[in-house]
Structure 1
Amino acid sequence: MRAIEIQEYGGPEVLRVVEVDVPEPGPGQVSVDVAHAGVNFADLKARGEGYRVPALPFRPGLEVSGRVRALGAGVTGLTVGQEVTALTAGGGYAEVAVAEVATVFPLPDGVDLRTAATLPTVLPTAYALVHAVGRLQRGETVLVQSAAGGVGTVVGQLAKAAGAGAVYGVVSSAAKAEYARTHGYDEVFVGDFEKAVRAATGERGVDLALDPVGGETLRASLASLAVFGRLVSFGNASSAEPWSVGQPELAPTGLSVAAFSVLNLARTAPAALRTLAERAFAKVADGTVSLPVTAEFALPEAAEAHRLMGGRSSTGKLLLSV
């Protein structure tokens, strides 16, 4: 079968099409004939700096949609040929991928395979940020970094549906701001945002800030919180050095900081992830949220997908069509 592999770290050009044996599922695993694979920023970090890469060569790709090809020993509740979406530990950029059964989900009613490939990482992450970790209450205000990306697109809609008083986004260009405004955002700031947030909230600040960037952006998000505000870190796209915050910064106004990673949750608490994912997918099935596929590439064009996402001009979700 064909798969995309990296044999060294570097730019998009290190993504190579290779012919490899079809993987067989082990106990508790499922193999999937891949229809579509999602492209995520974590894939770019894996390719460029070895993020979550156990060893080289490595095949990227964290989410797929397709049909069950084979069931490993002990797997129940799924059938060969069934349409599913799955979160993988890697290897999604391929004609066949393998995933743990706990992270393989039958397609929700009314959701096709193309849409299903957008679900496994983005939807549970967005749902957790708004509900499980962020614990947004009706009337509260929200600040979202990377508001035009996949997670940001869904968070804006979920926050509005949850009754947020105002949803503010931060993006890197005017074009992205225009896109974000059509997906639940009341106001979108381009570039520097701290003073703009204070002005928009009458100097109060926001109740909940969601940050996938890290570094100076995370610090500015923390400084944008209202009294008793909450910040959730869910990535480090900036690749900044790890930063810690403690009682001296938090105690004066009763702030709190949390973190979330759907990949870590899949490993440490798969049952919790499954519950989270089912609730999140239901929001797509009932029309509460949508995640537009804004660009699609053939499997051998994975490098082009990475160039587009790495250029920070993409919005919504990018897919590989397998």
Structure 2
Amino acid sequence: MVKAIRVHEAGGPEVLRYEDFELAPPGPGEVQIRQHAVGVNYIDVYYRKGAYPVPSKPFILGNEGAGEIAALGEGVTKFKIGDRVAYAGPLGGYAQARNIEAKFVVPLPENVSYETAAAMMLKGLTAEYLLFRSYKVQPGDTILVHAAAGGVGLILCQWAKALGATVIGTVGSEEKAKLAREAGADETILYRQEDWVARVREITGGKLCHAVYDSVGKTTFPGSLDCLRPFGSFISFGSASGPIEAFDIGLLSQKGSLYAQRPSLFTYMADEARLREMAARLMEAVGSGKVKIAINARYKLEDAAQAHRALEGRETTGATVLLP
């Protein structure tokens, strides 16, 4: 038996039940991980509330974590008992131990802690594909990062700066502007108080940006397109303010032969070799100190409901982890 946080019915934080759970041995192609830390993300709230479909009930929340290999399923040869590992993958993270397909699991080097790994897998892998795959950032590029003080935003600012880019970030408050600047943003724009499109034009001397990374959605479109130079890339990877509604694709021609994408992390992760390559690049960036992951809240596993209340109350900055 292991302890886990299980959800029997959709609802508020009170539906998170800390209870015993019978964990079966890992099946073919699976590994069992004894978890040292589990990441908490806003998507967990959506699952808890019933906004996203789940395979069955009761279910266990959580899509990322880190720990040691405790058991191997039939056919698994890439790991051995005791290996340090991290993962981003299917639900099942809020538990002392879990089974997961080995294809979602990556090696964890000694210079990256379990807590850091659990806090960074989803956000860090997202930043990796945005900077190296959706648009390959080059030294001298200028990029715009919306929600620059958010979880992904802070990683984007640090990593893009390390790649030699000029980083402009939009934020909602002076406190968040300070966080973004500390993470490497060259310029910050208070989007609630300023005409942020005009400010981007001013900051760049009218040259505009090579790429815009937009996790906000409805309220920043089509303004994001107006921040791009000809042949620039608009990369929409979230919709915090609501989804972008259908738009006339002719806009991309009118505004400078632009490229527009709506990528998904799980599409990139679907290929095991690519996932390992992405994770290795992320581990190197964090292990070398080029990218720092701020963990500002730690809770015991049994206090998951408290963690959700803080998250929904916007009381958190940086990452939150659960410690089984």
Superposition TM-score, scaled by structure 2 size? 0.91
Whole-Å separation in 1 of the counterparts to 2:289 and 2:243: 39
CA distances 1:184-243 after superposition (whole Å, capped 9, x unpaired): 1112223333333233223433221111222222433233222221111222233x2453
Matched with 2:299 is: 297
Greater mean alpha carbon deviation, residues 46-55 or residues 297-306 = 46-55
Selected match of 2:211 from 204, 208, 217: 208
Whole-Å separation in 2 of the counterparts to 1:276 and 1:108: 14
RMSD of aligned Cα (Å) = 1.9
Matched with 2:172 is: 172
Matched with 1:182 is: 182
- What is the correspondence of 1:124-273 to structure 2 with a 5 Å cutoff? 124-164=125-165, 166-192=166-192, 193-238=196-241, 240-241=242-243, 243-252=245-254, 253-266=256-269, 268-273=270-275
Whole-Å separation in 2 of the counterparts to 1:220 and 1:116: 35
Matched with 1:32 is: 33
Whole-Å separation in 1 of the counterparts to 2:262 and 2:275: 15
Superposed displacement of residue 25, structure 1 = 1.6
Superposition TM-score, scaled by structure 1 size? 0.92
Which amino acid is 1:299 matched to?
Answer: L
After superposition, the Cα gap between the structure-2 partners of 1:99 and 1:146, relative to the gap in structure 1 and judged at 3 Å, is: farther
After superposition, the Cα gap between the structure-2 partners of 1:220 and 1:97, relative to the gap in structure 1 and judged at 3 Å, is: farther
Q: Is the 8 A contact 1:159 1:167 kept in 2?
A: yes
Matched with 1:107 is: 108
Which amino acid is 2:81 matched to?
Answer: V
Q: Is the 8 A contact 1:262 1:273 kept in 2?
A: no
After superposition, the Cα gap between the structure-2 partners of 1:131 and 1:59, relative to the gap in structure 1 and judged at 3 Å, is: same
Whole-Å separation in 1 of the counterparts to 2:265 and 2:152: 12
Superposed displacement of residue 246, structure 1 = 4.9
Whole-Å separation in 1 of the counterparts to 2:221 and 2:63: 25
Structure 2 gap ranges (5+):
none
Superposed displacement of residue 282, structure 1 = 1.3
Q: Is the 8 A contact 1:123 1:281 kept in 2?
A: no
Greater mean alpha carbon deviation, residues 20-29 or residues 88-97 = 20-29
Which amino acid is 2:100 matched to?
Answer: A
Superposed displacement of residue 173, structure 1 = 2.4
Whole-Å separation in 2 of the counterparts to 1:86 and 1:281: 12
Superposed displacement of residue 76, structure 1 = 0.7
Matched with 1:88 is: 89
Structure 1 gap ranges (5+):
none
Matched with 2:80 is: 79
CA distances 1:10-63 after superposition (whole Å, capped 9, x unpaired): 332332222211243211111111110011122122223432523433211011
Whole-Å separation in 2 of the counterparts to 1:135 and 1:52: 33
Which amino acid is 2:319 matched to?
Answer: K
Instruction: Say which SS state the counterpart of residue 137 (structure 2) adopts.
Output: coil
Greater mean alpha carbon deviation, residues 9-18 or residues 21-30 = 9-18
Which amino acid is 2:258 matched to?
Answer: L
Whole-Å separation in 1 of the counterparts to 2:215 and 2:53: 16
Whole-Å separation in 2 of the counterparts to 1:261 and 1:64: 20
Which amino acid is 2:296 matched to?
Answer: T
Whole-Å separation in 2 of the counterparts to 1:255 and 1:140: 16
Whole-Å separation in 2 of the counterparts to 1:294 and 1:208: 30
Superposed displacement of residue 281, structure 1 = 1.4
State percent identity of aligned pairs. Answer: 38
Which amino acid is 2:208 matched to?
Answer: G
- What is the correspondence of 1:266-285 to structure 2 with a 5 Å cutoff? 266=269, 268-285=270-287
